[in-house]
Chain A
């Protein structure tokens, strides 16, 4: 039976993993992810979920265990954040290179030093090129739905790539919201059992996974991952629609979501929970007869270039909000990529909310004002103290 619970983002993710009937969970606790794996541990202890729970001694080992488990042909899950994700770095490449559909929750958090447990996107952005699909959820409902969708996407034979669902640390992980929890059987029917053709353990079919890739073949494997990323765009869109038909919820076209884009000649581009704040400001401006739009990038990898180009082709003023900074370029990663996508167009970049710095309604208004007045594309840090 579908029900509505008032829960945190981390609990929503744990419930989604349970509904997806994961068979192996390997994890190491880290703020602000801990609640997710605690809830999963409780599900197993209470007999509500029949899964192996591997308590790893580090995130590096947790990902290694997930890779090993996934390589045997079972559905696996883990969750991490910040330094934990950074510690997984080399393992992330291996999961992608072995084409293993591991799904992970990343609760976005700033990287040290100084030690900071609060939200920004530097951790997952730094793992941009590992071959993982990255979905940024806006709220707790989308967190739950995205984890379920992540298995559908990752296990698709055209994709076979790991997926990380990124949610804003504390802003979503520790804030409760009403979340529709779909019927367990319905989710299981939707996902089915993971039955890989390429990678599973069977003594009657001995295989070697993770072999040496000499110069004669390594480049081809990278091209295959690149092609799978391209194909994933179509799969993500399809999954978004299928999910809507069955569970009655969808998120834009799966890759991007437009909000008040028609009529708007000023558009903000952003990812994650700040989009909720931006939507609120857009609504209040609309009442005052002013049209500002939002383009929410839901999947940062694969990057929805084509959709962004199409949706912003009429827009004069594009302002990109980044909760990360590419040091030495003085722009955030999303800003750089939007600039590359919209070649020649004016793109202003706003560095916001690093290390949990609050992004207020006034900040968003300030950004819109700056964007409308600015002649050229430039980078501005918002909310800095004097």
Chain B
């Protein structure tokens, strides 16, 4: 439900809002092929790539916009794409 005048009554709600919902393609990171060069991590304009507790690179799909820059920059082709299913 949108409020009248689209007013937001809860401050700080952007920390909760997921912004990754307009993706057309979903990048898939294959940790087997990944050499942990960090290039995708540096290039991702959304800061959606992070290192998990096992020091593997992962993609946070709540914020990933699907721009596929990561996939293009990855030197080992570890990141492929699939069409997003809504």
Contact = CB atoms under 8 A, between A and B. Distances in A.
Interface of A: 97-100, 160, 198-199, 205-211, 213-217, 220-221, 224
Interface residues of B, number: 11
B2 A198 contact: no
Nearest to A205: B9
B66 to A, nearest CB: 15
A162 to B, nearest CB: 12
A99 B4 contact: yes
B14 to A, nearest CB: 9
A209 B21 CA distance: 23
B82 interface: no
5 contacts: A160-B4, A198-B7, A209-B5, A215-B22, A221-B2
Q: Which of A199, A207, A217 lies at the interface centre, i.e. has the most chain B CB atoms within 10 A of its CB? A: A207
Nearest to A208: B8
Contacts of B4: 99, 160, 198, 224
A160 B5 CA distance: 9
B16 to A, nearest CB: 14
| A interface: dominant SS | loop
B7 A221 contact: no
Contacts of B11: 206-208
B22 A208 contact: no
Interface in B19-37: 21-22
Contacts of B2: 213, 217, 220-221, 224
Contacts of B7: 98, 198-199, 207-209, 211
A3 B3 CA distance: 43
A214 B3 CA distance: 14
